Amino acid sequence: MQFFYFLFLLYNVVMDNKFPKGFLWGVAVSSYQTEGNNFNSDWWEWEQKGKTKDKSGIACDYWNKYKEDHDLVQELGCNIFRLSLEWSRIEPEEGKFSEEAIKHYRDILQDLKNRNIKTQVTFWWWTSPIWFQDKYGFHKKSSISVFARYIEKSVKELGDLIDMFQVLNEPMVPLGQGYLTGLFPPGKKNPFYFWQALKNIAKAYVESYKIIHSIKPDAIVGMTHLYNWYDSGKSNILGKMIYGVSKWFQVIAFSRRIKNHQDFFGLNYYRLGKINLRHWKSEKINFFIEENENNIMGWIAYPEGIYEAIKEAYQDYKMPIFITENGFPFDIGLDDYPRVLFIKEHLRYVKKAIDEGANIIGYNCWSLLDNYEWLYGFAPRFGLVEIDYKTLERKPRKSFYEYKKIIQNNGL
Ligand code: BGC
């Protein structure tokens, strides 16, 4: 009897760490940050104007080395891979689609399919063709149909190889930076344009959602939302205000415009949103510590925040959630133990949310590779795999092997 009781306990301990059967384990990369040589992109032009710390150049050369990188995804044991399409490659001139680029994306997607890896494809990850930015821009209403045409063409050509569709990645980031701070293209500081752009890109999203479903009725379509956690002492008025404004900006402003047009909720979680009020920081910091020398972006890791974000999103939107990005810029060579801790701690909280009833269908580490981090250039290192930017050699880090174990075990 005691023996069976022991087995029962053991079963519980083992099962307790397991994620649901069929859980999707992934890693993510984005086209502009890894492919290299995206000459027709507005961000490329932005770099030439000296607006970024580094120029992306050949980046990781994923465009040519994708098979090598898919070997890594396969070695990890991922059953899904998140990547994106570069609009400026597919439509380098207005209305003229590049058969060559489309064929190349087909090869990339087919290569993943051959390895039995599901494809999660984002269609707009912050960059647009130069012609689009010159003539349109999302602040103009005419941008909607132009964007929809790109979606329609891409889905017709590539949709059969796509398992999960993400029309947009975190649109509020480039909208804020492109129309309020002026740090991203188109470099405007105009709240009216910001507002127009928000409305138009949301309409373009809804239009795209419909187009994708009309071409592929059973498609799973959504987008990703940045959901950092800003709960820094809701008890005082200022805290409540910051929490409310950040929630509105990150999630509500967009979500309310696309109601009933998401088949899942893509949630990107990174950190505790930093508010430059010293005393708030100290309350929430745990073992990762703020702004240490391994964290050149000055971020605050806060694993519990992923749990809070999931709980809130699940309660508000009541749909399956995919953790589409989670990672941290540790620059510490191959033995990246803090990243291992980071991943495990976050997954522990994801599991807690699942145990409490949230429907989480998958998780992506950001990122498979070190890559080009927008304004910051190449210095931040987010990869499970280190890139030597001189030789482009890929070197898996400790976190790569630890994540592999987690995937093998379907849990921690
Ligand atoms: C973006 C990525 C970026 C990452 C780290 C995410 O919000 O989707 O493009 O590299 O944050 O900053």
47-76: pLDDT as tens digits = 999 999 999 999 999 999 999 999 999 999
Q: Evaluate: CB of 370 within 6 angstroms of ligand 1.
A: no
Pairwise CA distance, residues 224 & 124, whole Å:
11
Going from the Cα of 326 to the center of ligand 1, the distance in angstroms, rounded, reads: 9
What tokens appear for 19 in the block?
């994620």
Q: Evaluate: CB of 119 within 6 angstroms of ligand 1.
A: no
DSSP secondary structure of 89-131: HH-SBTTB--HHHHHHHHHHHHHHHHTT-EEEEEEESS--BHH
Helix (H, G, I), strand (E, B) or coil at 229: strand
Indicate the angle between helix axes 143-158 and 99-114, nearest 10 degrees: 50
Long-range contacts (CB closer than 8 Å, 24 or more residues apart) made by 112-115: 112/70, 112/73, 112/81, 113/161, 115/70, 115/73, 115/74
Residue 149: predicted pLDDT? 98
Q: Evaluate: CB of 226 within 6 angstroms of ligand 1.
A: yes
Question: 208-253 pLDDT, tens per residue?
Answer: 999 999 999 999 999 999 999 886 655 677 777 888 889 999 999 9
Residue 77: predicted pLDDT? 98
Residues 6+ apart with CB under 8 A from 56: 32, 33, 36, 38, 43, 44, 47, 372
Going from the Cα of 376 to the center of ligand 1, the distance in angstroms, rounded, reads: 11
Going from the Cα of 14 to the center of ligand 1, the distance in angstroms, rounded, reads: 34
| DSSP3 helix / strand / coil % (the chain, rounded to 5) | 45, 15, 35
On whether the CB atoms of residues 352 and 56 are closer than 8 A, the answer is no
Nearest residue to 188 via CA among 42, 31, 373: 42
Q: Tokens 């890894």 appear where?
A: 34
Residue 232: predicted pLDDT? 60
Going from the Cα of 304 to the center of ligand 1, the distance in angstroms, rounded, reads: 20
Which atom in ligand 1 lies closest to the alpha carbon of residue 173? 7
What's the maximum distance between 2 C-alpha atoms anywhere in the chain?
A: 77
Going from the Cα of 226 to the center of ligand 1, the distance in angstroms, rounded, reads: 9
Residue 249 DSSP class = I
Which among 225, 370, 373, 381 is the best mutation to test ligand 1's pocket, defined by most ligand atoms within 8 Å of the CB? 373
Q: Evaluate: CB of 169 within 6 angstroms of ligand 1.
A: yes
Nearest residue to 89 via CA among 40, 43, 34, 55: 40
Which residue's CA lies nearest to atom 10 of ligand 1?
Answer: 373
Pairwise CA distance, residues 347 & 340, whole Å:
11
Which atom in ligand 1 lies closest to the alpha carbon of residue 373? 10
What tokens appear for 227 in the block?
């959901």
Going from the Cα of 132 to the center of ligand 1, the distance in angstroms, rounded, reads: 23
User: pTM of this prediction?
Assistant: 0.94
Amino acid at 389: Y
Handedness of CA 152, 204, 208, 130 (dihedral sign): positive
Residue 339 DSSP class = H
Going from the Cα of 397 to the center of ligand 1, the distance in angstroms, rounded, reads: 20
Pairwise CA distance, residues 218 & 210, whole Å:
12
Please report, in tens digits, the pLDDT of each residue of the chain (412 residues total): 566 666 655 665 556 789 999 999 999 999 999 999 999 999 999 999 999 999 999 999 999 999 999 999 999 999 999 999 999 999 999 999 999 999 999 999 999 999 999 999 999 999 999 999 999 999 999 999 999 999 999 999 999 999 999 999 999 999 999 999 999 999 999 999 999 999 999 999 999 999 999 999 999 999 999 999 886 655 677 777 888 889 999 999 999 999 999 999 999 999 987 654 544 444 444 444 444 445 788 788 889 999 999 999 999 999 999 999 999 998 789 999 989 999 999 999 999 999 999 999 999 999 999 999 999 999 999 999 999 999 999 999 999 999 999 999 999 9
Which among 374, 382, 384, 387 is the best mutation to test ligand 1's pocket, defined by most ligand atoms within 8 Å of the CB? 374
Going from the Cα of 325 to the center of ligand 1, the distance in angstroms, rounded, reads: 8
